[in-house]
Homo-oligomer: A and B are copies of this chain.
């Protein structure tokens, strides 16, 4: 599961994704110099806890490679994943003392980290960075609310189709091509993790994946490699408004 690191850097901004997504929308040289001095990298193995809900937060940063998950667990063990962190996503809470949720490495993960205190100073002294972070947080909030529709109202089949569609879209977004006929990608999550994300049991996930395969909407190579022969017909299964509109 150790894919070669993908380089997501802004063309002008070196190799650390945070400079591109979270900070460097205008590439001010001063800010970059500060960030260069602050950044460190850290890696985690698949399954490892990155932090626990309630932990003191020392760092913020972003995902360089791999997939991390935010999740919550109830006393009796019921678990709900509340966010997926893919490469280039921001991790952490400027202005917060403690982590609100558990963070778990779903695959092997590399993070690019900055000590929180100096990063917060940077935010407070640089409106463009605060604005950029606000924008990203609003995106996350919209995504969370889309997910609430999925969790509250969609059927198991629609949940699976939606999840696959989101991954597929993210895949093709990275590799320029907008053609959207056929898409191939690797599932970053186990059946159990998918269940935790979708508010289902792993058995139901397995059954519905099989059902989509039987229906010819997806093809499987092994357990994790997925081919979507016709993206549009998968979209029909998601329950989403298929025509235009705003992406989440």
Which residues does A use to contact B, with CB under 8 Å? 53-54, 70, 72, 74-76, 78-80, 82-83, 93-96, 98, 100-101, 123-128, 130-131, 133-135, 137-138, 140-142, 144-149, 151-153, 198-199, 239-241, 245-246, 248
Give A124 to B135 CA distance when docked, in angstroms.
12
Does B94 contact A149, Cβ atoms closer than 8 Å? no
8 contacts between A and B (CB under 8 A): A72-B145, A80-B153, A96-B138, A100-B246, A123-B131, A127-B127, A130-B134, A152-B199
Give A137 to B130 CA distance when docked, in angstroms.
12
Known: A100-B246, A124-B127, A125-B127. A72 touches B149 (CB 8 A): yes
Give A237 to B127 CA distance when docked, in angstroms.
44
Number of copies of this chain that the complex holds: 2
Residues of B within 8 A of A100 (CB): 142, 145, 246, 248
Give A147 to B83 CA distance when docked, in angstroms.
12
Give A70 to B93 CA distance when docked, in angstroms.
25
Q: How far is the CB of A176 from chain B (nearest CB, A)?
A: 24
Give A123 to B72 CA distance when docked, in angstroms.
33
Give A239 to B94 CA distance when docked, in angstroms.
29
Q: 5 nearest interchain CB pairs?
A: A152-B199, A130-B130, A82-B145, A151-B151, A144-B144
Give A240 to B75 CA distance when docked, in angstroms.
8
Residue from B78, B95, B246 in contact with A138 in the complex, judged by beta carbons closer than 8 Å: B95
Best-surrounded residue of A95, A153, A199 (most CB of chain B within 10 A) = A153
Give A133 to B133 CA distance when docked, in angstroms.
10
Residues of B within 8 A of A82 (CB): 145, 148-149
Give A241 to B52 CA distance when docked, in angstroms.
15
Give A147 to B240 CA distance when docked, in angstroms.
21
Q: How far is the CB of A89 from chain B (nearest CB, A)?
A: 13
Does B93 contact A138, Cβ atoms closer than 8 Å? yes
Known: A127-B125, A144-B145. A79 touches B135 (CB 8 A): no
